[in-house]
Structure 1
């Protein structure tokens, strides 16, 4: 019988997200706003007081929470979220333990266990950085090196996930992971959590987004099926 492990952060009003400067140098904080569009009290007259419903309104940038990047995120002519097939984001997975890394530290090929088969798989890196979710520390994180990026591409991976806010170093404007992975149709999932629960398990990883057109990224309910 299968067990399902939730790998997603809560999606909630005022949640933490990216920070990016606008054209004037002002720091913009990505977040979500969640509020009633129609309350139970407001809807009750429509049903003669015999029933009532809430309609909720959510406003957010798509690169927030636990989310999936499509090639369109990096490349104007790349496939968008709606063009990703379901079988491309339900994959056998492996988790790599890199919890001993420090902020701004890059990781190389040496962290991949010898003989680990990565072909056709979702490879998830557990930095343990989800423990800093909602804290200032979350914005200073370790990341994967270009050497490891190329190794993963050559190993035939289909998706790479991390439990940090960005798979790339915020100090590198070339963004090599996004540039190279998405160029090769390898999807990226960021802001994962609870990856340590996958150790010593065979699992399938699920990262299915809404079928949203002209959308570069999308929040997901990431989870693993463990047998």
Structure 2
């Protein structure tokens, strides 16, 4: 069974919001338009065929997306340098559906399995139900203790079903810093993790092979093993 873990990537979709130095609030998004319509292309084929070509523009931190080490560290590995063996992993879902807005969760607040090395560890806050709303920005997050212990355990990837693996109130961004320094990939804005509790699965998070990209949207999904 295949479980889709990605939000729909669409025109005008919600993304990271920040303030410019001028104080202007900016929200990242995607723009999807026809570059050439069927009507416009038909003349090239004597009316016997027609095609649509899309014009897509977006910032890298929108939608279900992956952070490469370059996202945090200048000159570090970009998205194109990530081998496919790092994008297809045995996965485990951690139940954190009891978390509230802005809540920090400690190690003892969640149940982690004994074997984590080399796995994709995905935290299910159930925050995807708030996708597109203001409360989505007030997401829970894991503590520095959790981040340190997961780094020490040698996980391969850390994912969440909310907008950020860090508290946006913490300027040090400890999760991004620890994980990406060690080459542990980050996937944010997942959805549908509730379907994976207690089942063995392989986690796929596949971006384009984008050179010099620090982050990139992915098609994330799980293959549940019978």
- The normalised TM-score by structure 1 is 0.97
For 1:15-34, list aligned pairs within 5 A.
15-34=13-32
Quote the Cα distance in structure 1 between the aligned partners of 2:158 and 2:59.
21
Cα deviations by residue, 1:87-110 (Å, 9 ceiling, x for unpaired)? 011100000010111111111111
For 1:99-114, list aligned pairs within 5 A.
99-113=97-111
Quote the Cα distance in structure 1 between the aligned partners of 2:146 and 2:211.
32
SS of the residue 1:160 aligns to: strand
SS of the residue 1:207 aligns to: strand
Q: What residue in structure 1 maps to residue 189 of structure 2?
A: 191
Q: What residue in structure 2 maps to residue 85 of structure 1?
A: 83
Q: CA deviation at 1:114?
A: 5.7
Corresponding residue to 2:136 among 132, 135, 138: 138
Corresponding residue to 1:70 among 68, 73, 76: 68
Q: What residue in structure 2 maps to residue 96 of structure 1?
A: 94
Q: Following TM superposition, where does structure 1 have runs of at least 4 consecutive aligned residues deviating by more than 4 angstroms?
A: none
Task: Number of aligned residue pairs: give it.
Answer: 225
Q: What residue in structure 2 maps to residue 209 of structure 1?
A: 207
For 1:51-66, list aligned pairs within 5 A.
51-66=49-64
> Structure 1, unaligned stretches of length 5 or more?
none
C-alpha contact 2:96 2:110 (8 A) present in aligned 1: no
Q: CA deviation at 1:50?
A: 0.3
Evaluate the alpha carbon distance shift between residue 39 and residue 84 of structure 1 in structure 2; reply closer, same or farther with a 3 A threshold. Answer: same
For 1:167-182, list aligned pairs within 5 A.
167-182=165-180
Q: CA deviation at 1:115?
A: 4.5
Quote the Cα distance in structure 2 between the aligned partners of 1:77 and 1:44.
46
Quote the Cα distance in structure 2 between the aligned partners of 1:151 and 1:99.
21
Q: CA deviation at 1:167?
A: 0.6
Quote the Cα distance in structure 1 between the aligned partners of 2:112 and 2:170.
29
Evaluate the alpha carbon distance shift between residue 192 and residue 185 of structure 1 in structure 2; reply closer, same or farther with a 3 A threshold. Answer: same
Quote the Cα distance in structure 1 between the aligned partners of 2:110 and 2:152.
13
Cα deviations by residue, 1:64-101 (Å, 9 ceiling, x for unpaired)? 10000000000012100000000011100000010111
Quote the Cα distance in structure 2 between the aligned partners of 1:200 and 1:175.
30
- The normalised TM-score by structure 2 is 0.98
> Structure 2, unaligned stretches of length 5 or more?
none
Quote the Cα distance in structure 1 between the aligned partners of 2:30 and 2:39.
24
